[in-house]
A and B are shown apart, each in its own frame.
Chain A
Amino acid sequence: MTTDLHTLLAPYSLDALEPPENTRFEAHLEQCPACQAELAGFQATATRLGDAVALTPPATMRSRVLTEIARTPQERPVVTAIAQRRSLRSAVPRMAAAAAFLVGTIGVGGYAIERDNAHEADARSTTITSVLAAPDAATTSKTFSTGGNVRLVASPAQDSAVIVANDLARLKGHKVYQVWMINGAGPKSQGTFTSSGTMIMHGAGGADSVAITVEPEGGSKQPTTAPIVTIAI
């Protein structure tokens, strides 16, 4: 089972895995940069196979699709904040704006749409930008092959960190992502999110790392699965 996960990559690229294996392989894929790189080439190959049997669709399909999308809202990579503490709840709109700023300006690969929001976000945010603006703020990011990314900005001087999860693959079966701050006393829950989320972590100066696990809806008291990502602070 552990030995031959890599042998699932080629069938995966053709959507030829049974559902349980598919789930298992996707979990592996997130942690396997070599698999991600190879998969891109396999998918490009499969794309040629699909392209090779192109066929003009009925003309009516075009107008139906265009009519449909005109009334279909888009899933924007807007960050919906999950505040665990009451003091943070009141800050949610501000945090959401600031998170858009964060996602758009930190690191490479941020989407232009988010950069467009940067100006107003910059003006309104306070808590998060104070972390961002800290002279010692350090950013770490991790992109998932199944979609989305996580960015962590930590400022030891402010004893705080901000974590932004952007557009991660939605989990099936009533599962959520749960964020943990880990220090010598063990992991401490920072909150959960379904696809995107941002949270401020105080006391980050004493933490060793931040981890994200997949947990049942509502979150767990302690992590019950291996982290999908661990970021050292």
Chain B
Amino acid sequence: MGANAAHLKLASSSTAGPTVDLGDLLVRTGRGDESAFAAVYDALSSSVYGMARRVIRDPSRAEEVSQEVFIQVWKTAARFDAQRGSAKSWVLTMAHRRAVDAVRHDQAASNRDRKYTSSNGPDFNEVEESVTLSLEHEQVRRCLAGLTDLQREAVLLAYYQGYTYAEVAEALNVNPATIKTRIRDGIVRLRDCMGIEA
């Protein structure tokens, strides 16, 4: 038991706390420092790849998009501005946009209709469950649980499935304005629950 606890502590300290600030690493990356970039990669590759996998589904496509994201990070690191958000937020925002673009592009190219109707739409319970089950962060799980079902559904479909709010509205056969409101209320509630400064 004692050994077990020590082991856990060691494991968490090796994954949790980079003593070097990610923002500093990005600034150094912006000056062409490849070792700083490698450290940025090591700190964020799981977040970027996991998010891309969730949104894109296809593992090789997710990997391809993740690689593109990190190359974009390398190319544009000098634009990072710590006053406008954290380094992780900068990278993941970029990554999510790319992942969503990839999904929409691929679906448009394959002529597949993403505009599900409520009758043939995805099984939201399944979507929700698969997301919730793999959530590493207890806080996120708990905060998602604090949303109303309708808010959670709208936020999850938009973020993890790459749906536009108009597509969410169509899938659920609900007024788009209602979906916008649900997304907004959902994010505000999540933000407050996570203790993120408004």
Interface residues of A (CB under 8 A from B): 4, 7-11, 13-18, 36, 38, 40-58, 61-62, 64-66, 68-70, 72-77, 109, 111-113, 143, 145, 147-148, 167
Interface residues of B (CB under 8 A from A): 27, 30-32, 34, 37-38, 41-42, 45-51, 53-54, 63, 66-67, 70-71, 74-79, 81, 83-86, 88-89, 92-93, 95-97, 100, 131, 134-137, 139-141, 155, 158-160, 162-166, 168, 177, 180-181, 183-184, 187-188, 190-191, 194, 196-198
Do B38 and A66 touch across chains, with their CB atoms under 8 A apart?
yes
What's the least CB distance linking B8 to chain A, in Å?
18
Do A43 and B89 touch across chains, with their CB atoms under 8 A apart?
yes
Extra A-B contacts (8), CB below 8 Å, given A54-B49, A112-B27 = A16-B158, A45-B191, A48-B139, A52-B136, A53-B51, A57-B48, A73-B75, A167-B79
Do B78 and A14 touch across chains, with their CB atoms under 8 A apart?
no
Which residues of chain A come closer than 8 Å to B188, judged between CB atoms?
Answer: 10
Which residues of chain B come closer than 8 Å to A41, judged between CB atoms?
Answer: 191, 196-198
Distance A66 CA – B39 CA, assembled complex (angstroms): 11
Distance A147 CA – B141 CA, assembled complex (angstroms): 32
Among residues of A, the one whose C-beta sits closest to the C-beta of B67 is A65
Which residues of chain B come closer than 8 Å to A45, judged between CB atoms?
Answer: 187, 190-191, 194, 196
Do B184 and A113 touch across chains, with their CB atoms under 8 A apart?
no
Select B168's contact among A16, A52, A54, beta carbons within 8 Å: A16
Distance A50 CA – B134 CA, assembled complex (angstroms): 12
Distance A51 CA – B131 CA, assembled complex (angstroms): 12
Which residues of chain A come closer than 8 Å to B34, judged between CB atoms?
Answer: 66, 69-70
Which residues of chain B come closer than 8 Å to A49, judged between CB atoms?
Answer: 140, 155, 159-160, 190
Distance A17 CA – B183 CA, assembled complex (angstroms): 12
Do A15 and B162 touch across chains, with their CB atoms under 8 A apart?
yes
CB within 8 Å for A58 and B180 given contacts A66-B38, A72-B75: no
Distance A141 CA – B86 CA, assembled complex (angstroms): 23
What's the least CB distance linking B7 to chain A, in Å?
19
Among residues of A, the one whose C-beta sits closest to the C-beta of B74 is A69
What's the least CB distance linking B41 to chain A, in Å?
6
Among residues of B, the one whose C-beta sits closest to the C-beta of A37 is B198
Do A7 and B177 touch across chains, with their CB atoms under 8 A apart?
yes
Among residues of A, the one whose C-beta sits closest to the C-beta of B91 is A47
What's the least CB distance linking B62 to chain A, in Å?
8
Do A111 and B78 touch across chains, with their CB atoms under 8 A apart?
yes
Counting chain B CB atoms within 10 Å of each CB, which of A38, A70, A73, A74 scores highest? A74
Do B89 and A47 touch across chains, with their CB atoms under 8 A apart?
yes
Distance A24 CA – B164 CA, assembled complex (angstroms): 15
Which residues of chain B come closer than 8 Å to A16, judged between CB atoms?
Answer: 158-159, 163-165, 168, 183
Among residues of B, the one whose C-beta sits closest to the C-beta of A113 is B31
Q: List 17 A-B contacts (CB under 8 A).
A: A16-B164, A42-B191, A44-B89, A44-B191, A45-B191, A46-B96, A47-B89, A48-B190, A50-B50, A52-B135, A53-B160, A54-B136, A55-B50, A57-B66, A61-B67, A72-B75, A75-B76
Select B187's contact among A42, A68, A73, A75, beta carbons within 8 Å: A42
